[in-house]
Amino acid sequence: MSRRKLAVWKFASCDGCQLTLLDCEDELLSIAGAIDIAYFPEASTTEVEGPYDLSLVEGSITTPHDAERIQTIREQSTTLVTIGACATAGGIQALRNWADVREFTSIVYAEPSFISTLDTSTAISEHVDVDFELRGCPISKAQLVELINAYLNDRRPYIPAHSVCMECKARGTPCIMVRDGVPCLGPVTHAGCGAICPAYDRGCYGCFGPSESANVEALAQWWKGLGVEDLDLVRALRTFNAYAPEFKEVSDRYA
Amino acid sequence: MHNERAIDVDYLSRVEGEGALHVRLQGNEVMDLQFKIFEPPRFFEAMLEGRDFMEAPDITSRICGICPVAYQTSACNAMESAAGVTLPHNLRLLRRLLYCGEWVESHGLHVYLLHAPDFLGYPSGIAMAEKFPERVETGLRLKKIGNELMTLIGGREIHPINTKVGGFYRAPTKAELQSMKPDLEWGLEAAIDTVRWVSQFPFPEFEREYEFVALHSPDEYAVDQGRIVSNRGIDIAPEEWDDVFEEEHVEWSNALHARIKERGSYHLGPMARYAMNHEQLTPLAREAADQAGLGAECRNPFQSIVVRSVEIVFAFEESLRIIDEYERPDAPAIEVNPAGEVGHGASEAPRGLLYHRYEVDDSKAISKARIVPPTSQNQLSIEEDLKTYIPGRAGLEDEQLRFELEQAIRNYDPCISCATHFLDLTVERD
């Protein structure tokens, strides 16, 4: 049986999630042995034409051209997986969705007329069917390897959707919100990072986006009890997953 | 006319981000050349307005997954200079050590997986592994050690979480850092061997008279701080940036082009740092450079891979030195209050100087932000390299010419994701 074909695509993003594949230093050559890396311009000049069995898509849709390009990629891909906060929630660049993009353009560029952009930054799933989403800003190396491994073995990936709190417990980190009164988004944030921030004496800042059935309003009340101002709550919810519906709804309420 | 032709590279590979090149040739003469950056704009400077000053390192690190520590450091430097504070010695050592990790990771990625394949005739580092498995495995292990150093200090390698304006959230213990020493010692030897290996590659004969711009410190190889200097007399503090440099917006690029007001293009990155600072290199890095025959400066951009490898030697050597010197500070951070002030920050990203400027209002929110990434500063120099290189190579078939021009761009390790605010290659022959 011929090897299945992998493609890695980029939209508006920082390249960090696709870099995660190259950062799998111990697994990279085995992965390349198990699946044909057919299209991955950041790593290779070789371009094998589609269709592709597995497409990993990084980045959000922010230009008219990209809105068309994702349709072509979907048509060419049997399985399409989004990787990272930009592709699954619109990324930090979705902050434009609350602003006037023409004003944004003129703040950065001397000749706004040279710039072609959409008013919004949106998740890939707003445009095409997505088979699986990997969360995180950036994604977790272990979850990426698990996803590819599961795909190659025709099983579901084991990617828990519970909150970061579970990972703090597993890691043995005392709750910094309870112990130190540090505001933490861990209770409403999707697991996957391994609860890094609390282990470094910092509150979780939500870079994996909302967990399954996150009660963001309840956490907002808890934060207010810690003396957090509305403005700072809104800022905390409006970062790398600002346009994830669960975060957006509550940030709009307090804005 | 029949001797006109166009060479297009629609999507440059083995670079970070989306770019293209369009060249129009008439005989040997370059009629038009555009190094295009079509990476979609993300408007970071606009998104930063209204954000708390403490958010600048986390938000700006998302400009680039390859060099997040560079963004975090320039942002912290800017806020700390606005507040008129400097980091205590051990916190500053820790920041420099984290940055050394990023240099090892980013340079290791470029040398082994992105650039070496050009000289050995492979489409990728992964394809190169079939013939040179031990080399590629060495490169991956080097890179991994850089990532592990970043993970130990920063919490993770891409978008570290531990960097904070004023220091860190948690300072590691000396013992934690010392646990890295065996790997760093292995990495130092492997990096010295890397310099020997890459210095034997076949390099095209090509040199240009660059104005090299880099940070400089008298007592150390500048990475995380310093004055901005050049080989043609620039010697300024970061806050004097606007006196010397300017940015312009051209139609074919989503990256602003930076230039020296009076003279035009300049060159950033490993070759520039080496030219300005080789006397500050650590002893084994200097020895490796001498043995590779680099001399006082290197002006062949194809040999940047040698200089980059010398900088990997430096980063390992410096990491080991820092770990010996470091003592865990009592507090992981100092208070920083930049309210109502303007701050400028610069540091040496793996691919060159990265400048940030912020205005902070009385409520400590950012009211204005400006970020000048290295690749947008190198754009003019890249275009001039290509214009100078092409006439001698115009007799080549399109496919070979396209390959060589892409290689000439990769010499800069361009990071296009960064530069957009920042590439596709077309060569048109009329």
A contact residues 63-82, partner B, Cβ 8 Å cutoff: 63, 66
Quickly state the pLDDT bin for B167 (edges 50, 70, 90).
very high
CA atoms within 13 A on the CB side of A75: 6
Please tell me the predicted confidence (pLDDT) of residue B35: 84
Could you tell me how far CA A68 lies from the centroid of its own chain?
Answer: 21
C-alpha distance from residue B91 to each of B43, B152, B166, B170 (Å): 31, 15, 9, 10
Closest CA to B284 of B305, B320, B310, B319: B310
Domain ranges of chain A: 5-152, 164-254
C-alpha–C-alpha distance, residues B386 and B405, integer Å: 7
Residues of A in contact with B127 (CB under 8 A): 44, 46
C-alpha–C-alpha distance, residues A44 and A26, integer Å: 19
Please tell me the predicted confidence (pLDDT) of residue A101: 80
Average pLDDT over residues B386-410: 90
- Chain B: give the shortest CA distance to residue A213, in Å: 25
Per-residue pLDDT of B240-290, as tens digits, reads 999 999 988 777 677 778 899 989 999 999 999 999 999 999 999 999 999
Per-residue pLDDT of B279-319, as tens digits, reads 999 999 999 999 999 999 999 999 999 999 999 999 999 99
Closest CA to B223 of B366, B87, B357, B96: B96
**Confidence (pTM):** 0.95
**Under DSSP, is residue A5 helix (H, G, I), strand (E, B) or coil?**
strand
Radius of gyration in angstroms for the set of CA atoms belonging to chain A, rounded to a whole number: 19
If phi > 0 it is left, if psi is from -120 to 50 it is alpha, else beta; for residue B258 that is: beta
Tokens encoding A84: 């990272």
Please tell me the predicted confidence (pLDDT) of residue A142: 96
Question: What is the ipTM for the molecules in this complex?
Answer: 0.96
Q: What angle in degrees, to the nearest 10, is found between the helix axes of A216-225 and A245-254?
A: 40
What secondary structure does DSSP assign to B141-159, as a single string? HHHHHHHHHHHHHHSSSSS
pLDDT over threshold 90, residue B17? no
C-alpha–C-alpha distance, residues B407 and B413, integer Å: 10
Radius of gyration in angstroms for the set of CA atoms belonging to chain B, rounded to a whole number: 21
Residues of B in contact with A16 (CB under 8 A): 62, 64-66, 68, 158-159
Preferred mutation among B18, B43, B168 to probe A, highest tally of A CBs within 10 A: B43
Could you tell me how far CA A64 lies from the centroid of its own chain?
Answer: 21
Q: Per DSSP, which regions of B79-224 are E strands?
A: 163-164, 167-168, 213-216
B129 vs A43: CB contact, 8 Å cut-off? no
B63 vs A202: CB contact, 8 Å cut-off? no
Average pLDDT over residues B115-138: 95
**Under DSSP, is residue B32 helix (H, G, I), strand (E, B) or coil?**
strand
Contact B60, B71 (CB under 8 A): yes
The stretches in chain A having pLDDT less than 50 are: none
Question: What residues contact A78, with CB distance under 8 A and at least 6 apart?
Answer: A51, A52, A53, A54
- Mean pLDDT, rounded, of chain B: 92
pLDDT over threshold 70, residue B423? no
Which fold, A5-152? Rossmann fold (3.40.50)
- Chain B: give the shortest CA distance to residue A80, in Å: 21
A115 vs B141: CB contact, 8 Å cut-off? no
Nearest chain A residue to B367, by CA: A107
What secondary structure does DSSP assign to A166-220, as a single string? HHHHHHTPPPHHHHH-----GGGBBS-S-SHHHHTT-----TT-B-TT--HHHHH
Contact B364, B52 (CB under 8 A): yes
Q: Is A165 exposed, middle or buried (0-12, 13-18, 19+ CB in 10 A)?
A: buried
| Residue B424 touches chain A, beta carbons under 8 Å | no
| Residue B169 touches chain A, beta carbons under 8 Å | yes
Domain ranges of chain B: 40-423
Percent residues over pLDDT 90 in chain B = 80
Contact A194, A171 (CB under 8 A): yes
**Under DSSP, is residue B121 helix (H, G, I), strand (E, B) or coil?**
coil
Domain at B40-423, CATH homologous superfamily: Cytochrome-c3 Hydrogenase, chain B (1.10.645.10)
Question: What residues contact B411, with CB distance under 8 A and at least 6 apart?
Answer: B115, B301, B302, B304, B305, B385
Quickly state the pLDDT bin for B421 (edges 50, 70, 90).
very low
- Chain A: give the shortest CA distance to residue B222, in Å: 26
